[in-house]
Amino acid sequence: MLSNRLAVVLVTALAPAVWGTTYLVTTEMLPPDRPLLAAVIRCLPAGLLLIALTRTLPRGGWWWRAPVLGALNIGGFQALLFIAAYRLPGGIAATVGAVQPLVTAGLSAALLGDRLTLRTVLSGIAGVAGVSLLVLRANAQLDAIGVVAALGGAVVMAFGVVLSKRWVSPAPLLATTGWQLTAGGLLLVPVTLLSEGAPPTHYTVDNVLGYAYLCLIGAALTYAIWFRGLRALPPTSLSFLSLLSPVVATLVGWLALGQDLSPLQALGAAVVLASLVVAQTQRPRPRPRTTDTGAAPATGPAPSAVRADRTAPVPGVGPSPLRENA
C-alpha cells in the first residue's frame, strides 16, 4: 500500500516539476509580453485535442460542473495570477501563492471533512518560508491589488482542487481533463483579447516549438497526470506538490540561464522539499467517497500566466510566467 502511494506521489510530482520549466520556455522561446496568449495556446488546443481523442462530451450536471472546474483550475487561476504578476515582483507573487496548501487544507476540512492537523499547518508554514527564501528579494515592494490577486489565485486553485475531489467525474480521466482545459482556455480568450489585443501575425520556429511544448507537454500530459493524482491522493497532499515548481524553476534558471544560486536559496529549496516529505508521509483519515452528484454514498470504501523576472522565477500550478516590464 505504501509503495503504491509513493509511486502515485512520484508520478504526480512530474506535473509541477514540468511546470517549473515554463519560465525557461517562455523567456527563451515565446514572443515577449504575451503571457495570456501563451496560456490560451497552452490550454485550449490541448483540451480540444483530448476531447477529440476521447470523443466524450459532458453529460447531465457535468455540462456546468466542467466549466466551473475549468474556470477554477485553469482560467480563473491564470487570470488572477496574471494580475498579480504584473503588479508584484516575482518573489512576492510566488511567496503569496505558496499559501495554497494551507488554503486547500482548510477547505478540505470544511467541505470534505478531512482532518486539519498541526503537522499539516506546520508543513504549510515551512513551505511558505522555504519558497520565500528561494525567490524573495530584499528590494521587493508590495502592491495591495497584486497581493489580493495572488492570494485570490491560491484560493481559486484550492477551491478547484477540493471541488474536483468532491465531484468525481464518471467519464475517463483524459475526457475530464479535456473538458477543464477547454473551458479554462475559452474563459481566457476574451481576457486575452482585451488585455493583449490581437495575437501576432508572425511566429518563429522557436515560438512554434515553445507553444507546442507548453500545449502537449505542459498542459495535455501534465494536467492529465495532475488530475490522475487528485483522484488517488488527498487534496492537501496534492497541493503540497505544487511547491516543486519554484524549486525546479530556480534550478533550471541556474543550470540553463546561468542565474546565481545562493546558499540561502539552497536552504530554501531544502526547506520546501522537507515540507513536502512531511506532508506526504502523513496518513490521511479515510472518508466516504463522493459521487458525481456531490453526495456521499451510504456504504463503500474511500477511494494544471505568472510573472517571473530574470532573477526570481515564479512558476505556479501550471501558469505561464511573465517578463519584467522595462
* pLDDT given for residue 91 in this prediction: 66
Average pLDDT, whole number, for the chain?
84
Considering only CA atoms, give the Rg of the chain. Answer: 19
Averaged pLDDT, 108-129: 93
255-277 per-position pLDDT tens digit = 887 878 889 889 999 999 999 99
Residue entry with cell 498579480? 84
* pLDDT given for residue 97 in this prediction: 86
10-23 per-position pLDDT tens digit = 999 999 999 988 88
20-71 per-position pLDDT tens digit = 888 888 888 998 888 889 899 999 999 999 999 999 999 999 999 999 999 9
Whole-angstrom distance, CA of residue 192 vs CA of residue 71 = 15
Whole-angstrom distance, CA of residue 315 vs CA of residue 307 = 8
pTM exceeds cut of 0.75: yes
pLDDT band at 285, cuts 50/70/90?
low
145-201 per-position pLDDT tens digit = 888 888 998 999 999 999 999 998 989 999 999 999 999 999 999 999 998 999 998
Whole-angstrom distance, CA of residue 151 vs CA of residue 228 = 26
Whole-angstrom distance, CA of residue 131 vs CA of residue 124 = 11
The alpha carbon of residue 223 and the mean position of all alpha carbons in its chain are separated, in whole angstroms, by 9
Q: Is 28 exposed, middle or buried (0-12, 13-18, 19+ CB in 10 A)?
A: exposed
pLDDT band at 2, cuts 50/70/90?
low
Averaged pLDDT, 233-256: 91
124-147 per-position pLDDT tens digit = 999 999 998 988 776 666 778 888
